[in-house]
């Protein structure tokens, strides 16, 4: 664990030490080269793809003498492509006229498909088939051809479900990696946009793309990320979450050190600020790093609306993060330790409401907060039609019946609802979860020690945050370590014509606009 913190992994991996081979044992045929005859082809492929009903073997006669075998997996290829661009030209015998060399009966110039690859081992051939290519084997040839006919039904580009905006693009990433890279490319028409591709997962062979802007991102950072990605040895990657947990700086911190987004515009915004994004095939999320805590409180719309509105919204968020974290704890502390801190009339009405409650305030608060979390969880997991029933149950049972039965007090219900609303104002879901999680220890501290306990909790959190990093960038950077230009996008959202420089976490090309020509009221650098 200590290794990950410093970002350098110790050379002998623990898995290697125990000599546990990674991945499933593969059939021996994969290690052999491709045979010569049609029969050997058939035998080998039936061995590799045994019990795989979705693999299609199609015999084609390329010429009266030459027997061909076309192999692909139904569903992940585009059948129309195979039919129009492979079967049709092959069967028409277009090749006949040029079979001077029987060994090389076709080449990529003759098939109207863009990606063609020649392979000569079964391992490579099988990988190609699994990655949505059509494999063409020819009797009498040790070479096989892989034609990329990627297809199959996948979700189209839709509005992002998790980050909706009022003003801003409506498109979101999909599960298809290349659609996602294209969505980024559409927005960044520069050759400095790099998309490093790698495959992670011995079984899933998931395509993972590390993307960044070459002339903006810190090269050391990119090298570090590449290293960390290359060190991953895992059987499968199904979501960006796998990668996130495997490459973050502080695996034991409750705070998220990368942020994920469904929005191409957010991704591009981050790339432009010198960060990198990791796209994983099959996941509609881009992982972005390094992050600071302030980013967790910024929504993409902050930058699309005029800065007055954005500032107001941002400050509301700051306030509500504090509420989400501390309100129940403050309520507990004040009602059980510091009854002198509230105005008389308020404390009397709270006292009146609590008169018949059998539990201490801390227990009452824990019950309510836990049931709220349970309700929220139930609402998320359940199908939408049942979900409504949950919210009715929650509102009636917890909101009203519990108060009328004298089990919880009405002020407590207000506190819990306020906290719930407050935690929904946090734009990054992973950060919101963290805040909700930390609420419970702080509530316990408040129940045990009052305001003193809350302060202890706050101090511990602050200490943790100040020493935390995300890919070597301090988590609170901007305020700690302090950087004057960075505060323009932390405490406030300065108007665009004031944010002349990129965040200081980027070490190259910090200037993002020319202040002199943009016609801003103060056409000068700095503020």
Partner 1 sequence: MQFMHKYRTIVLLFLCTLLLSGCWDREEINDIAFVIGIAIDKEKQDYRTSLQIALPGQSGAAGSEGGGGGTSGDKSWFMLSTTAKTFRGTSLEGQKALSRRLYYAHRRTLLIGEDLAREGVAPMLDLLTRYPLNRLSAMPVVTKGEAFKVLDADAPIEKFPSEMVRELCFLNMRNPRSLKLFIDSILSEGIDPFLPIASITENVPKDWKDVKTNIKLDGLAIFKKDKLVGMIEKAPADALILAMGEANTPEVLLKAPKGEGSLFIKLNENNSSFQPHIRDDKVSVTIQLYAKGILVDNESDYGDLREREIVSLNEAIHKKVKDDIEEGVRLLQRKYNADILGLGRSIHQQMPKEWDKIKDRWYDIYPNMEVVVEPHIIIENVGITNKPIGLTEEEIVHD
Give the residue with the Cβ less far from partner 1, 101 or 340.
340
Nearest Cα to Cα of residue 475 among 486, 463, 467: 467
State yes or no: cis peptide before 184, omega within 30 of 0: no
Give the residue with the Cβ less far from partner 1, 69 or 350.
350
Backbone phi and psi for residue 222, each to the nearest 5 degrees, phi listed first:
-65, -40
- Shortest Cβ distance from residue 243 to partner 1 (Å)? 22
- Shortest Cβ distance from residue 509 to partner 1 (Å)? 36
| b/e per residue 410-437 (b: at least 16 CB within 10 A) | bbbbebbebbbebbebbbbbbbbebbbe
- Shortest Cβ distance from residue 409 to partner 1 (Å)? 6
Q: What is the DSSP letter of 358?
A: -
- Shortest Cβ distance from residue 371 to partner 1 (Å)? 17
Interatomic CA distance for residues 145 and 59, integer angstroms: 15
- Shortest Cβ distance from residue 250 to partner 1 (Å)? 10
Give the residue with the Cβ less far from partner 1, 294 or 337.
337
How deeply is 271 buried, as exposed, middle or buried, from its count of CB atoms within 10 A (0-12, 13-18, 19+)?
Answer: buried
Question: CB atoms < 10 A from the CB of 265, how many?
Answer: 22
Given a contact cutoff of 8 angstroms between Cβ atoms, the answer to whether 258 and 288 are in contact is yes
Distance (Å) of CA 200 to CA 148, 242, 288, 372, 383: 20, 11, 18, 38, 32
What six digits make up the tokens of 221? 């950072």
Question: CB atoms < 10 A from the CB of 137, how many?
Answer: 25
Give the residue with the Cβ less far from partner 1, 130 or 448.
448
Interatomic CA distance for residues 522 and 6, integer angstroms: 43
Q: What residues have CB less than 8 Å from 72, skipping those under 6 apart?
A: 55, 56, 58, 82, 129, 132, 133, 134, 135, 149
- Shortest Cβ distance from residue 445 to partner 1 (Å)? 9
- Shortest Cβ distance from residue 296 to partner 1 (Å)? 23
Give the residue with the Cβ less far from partner 1, 59 or 400.
400
Give the residue with the Cβ less far from partner 1, 6 or 164.
6
- Shortest Cβ distance from residue 411 to partner 1 (Å)? 8
Distance (Å) of CA 58 to CA 72, 77, 83, 135, 458: 9, 14, 11, 10, 67
In sequence order, what are the beta bridge partners of 280? 208
Q: Residue 288's Cα: distance from chain center in Å?
A: 7
Distance (Å) of CA 479 to CA 255, 298, 313, 475, 489: 17, 16, 20, 10, 11
Interatomic CA distance for residues 47 and 40, integer angstroms: 11
Give the residue with the Cβ less far from partner 1, 199 or 253.
253
Give the residue with the Cβ less far from partner 1, 86 or 408.
408
Interatomic CA distance for residues 75 and 149, integer angstroms: 11
Binding site for partner 1 (CB under 8 A): 1-2, 5, 252, 335-337, 339-340, 344, 347-357, 360-361, 403-404, 406, 409-411, 447-450
Give the residue with the Cβ less far from partner 1, 278 or 330.
330
Give the residue with the Cβ less far from partner 1, 104 or 395.
395
| DSSP-derived secondary structure for 377-401 | HHHHHS-HHHHHHHHHHIIIIIIII
- Shortest Cβ distance from residue 341 to partner 1 (Å)? 9
Give the residue with the Cβ less far from partner 1, 204 or 336.
336
- Shortest Cβ distance from residue 340 to partner 1 (Å)? 3
- Shortest Cβ distance from residue 287 to partner 1 (Å)? 24
- Shortest Cβ distance from residue 259 to partner 1 (Å)? 24
Give the residue with the Cβ less far from partner 1, 68 or 453.
453
Interatomic CA distance for residues 481 and 475, integer angstroms: 9
């Amino acid at each position: 664990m200590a290794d990950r913190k410093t970002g350098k992994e110790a050379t002998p991996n623990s898995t290697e030490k125990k000599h546990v081979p990674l991945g499933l044992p593969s059939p021996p045929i994969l290690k052999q080269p491709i045979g010569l005859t049609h029969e050997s082809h058939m035998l080998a492929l039936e061995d590799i793809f045994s019990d795989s009903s979705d693999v299609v073997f199609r015999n084609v006669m390329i010429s009266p003498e030459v027997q061909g075998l076309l192999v692909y997996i139904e569903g992940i290829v585009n059948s129309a492509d195979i039919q129009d661009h492979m079967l049709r030209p092959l069967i028409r015998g277009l090749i006949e006229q040029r079979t001077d060399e029987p060994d090389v009966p076709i080449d990529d110039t003759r098939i109207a498909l863009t990606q063609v690859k020649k392979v000569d081992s079964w391992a490579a051939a099988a990988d190609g088939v699994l990655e949505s290519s059509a494999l063409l084997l020819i009797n009498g040839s040790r070479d096989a051809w892989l034609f990329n006919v990627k297809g199959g039904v996948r979700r189209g580009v839709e509005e992002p479900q998790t980050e909706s905006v009022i003003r801003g693009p409506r498109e979101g990433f999909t599960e298809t990696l290349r659609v996602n890279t294209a969505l980024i490319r559409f927005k960044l028409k520069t050759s400095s946009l790099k998309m490093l591709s790698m495959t992670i997962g011995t079984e899933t062979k998931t395509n993972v793309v590390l993307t960044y802007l070459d002339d903006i991102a810190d090269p050391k950072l990119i090298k570090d990320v590449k290293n960390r990605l290359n060190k991953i040895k895992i059987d499968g990657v199904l979501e960006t979450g796998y990668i996130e947990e495997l490459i973050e700086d502080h695996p034991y911190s409750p705070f998220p050190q990368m942020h994920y987004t469904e929005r191409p515009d957010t991704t591009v915004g981050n790339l432009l600020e010198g960060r990198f994004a990791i796209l994983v095939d099959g996941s509609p999320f881009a992982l972005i790093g390094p992050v600071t805590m302030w980013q967790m409180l910024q929504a993409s719309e902050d930058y699309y609306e005029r800065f007055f509105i954005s500032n107001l919204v941002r400050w509301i968020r700051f306030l509500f993060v504090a509420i989400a974290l501390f309100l129940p704890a403050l309520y507990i502390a004040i009602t059980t330790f510091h009854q002198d801190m509230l105005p008389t009339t308020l404390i009397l009405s709270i006292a009146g409401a609590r008169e018949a409650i059998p539990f201490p305030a801390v227990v009452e608060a824990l019950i309510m907060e836990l049931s709220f979390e349970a309700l929220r969880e139930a609402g998320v997991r359940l199908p939408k039609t049942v979900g409504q029933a949950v919210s009715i149950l929650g509102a009636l049972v917890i909101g009203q019946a519990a108060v009328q039965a004298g089990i919880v007090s009405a002020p407590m219900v207000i506190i819990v609802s306020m906290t719930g609303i407050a935690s929904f104002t946090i734009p990054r879901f992973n950060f919101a979860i963290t805040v909700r999680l930390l609420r419970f220890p702080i509530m316990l501290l408040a129940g045990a020690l009052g305001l003193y306990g809350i302060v202890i909790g706050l101090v511990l959190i602050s200490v943790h945050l100040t020493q935390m990093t995300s890919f070597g960038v301090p988590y609170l950077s901007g305020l700690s370590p302090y950087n004057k230009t960075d505060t323009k996008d932390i405490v406030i959202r300065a108007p665009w014509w004031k944010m002349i420089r990129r965040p200081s976490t980027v070490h190259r090309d910090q200037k993002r606009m020319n202040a002199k020509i943009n016609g801003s009221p103060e056409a000068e650098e700095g503020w």
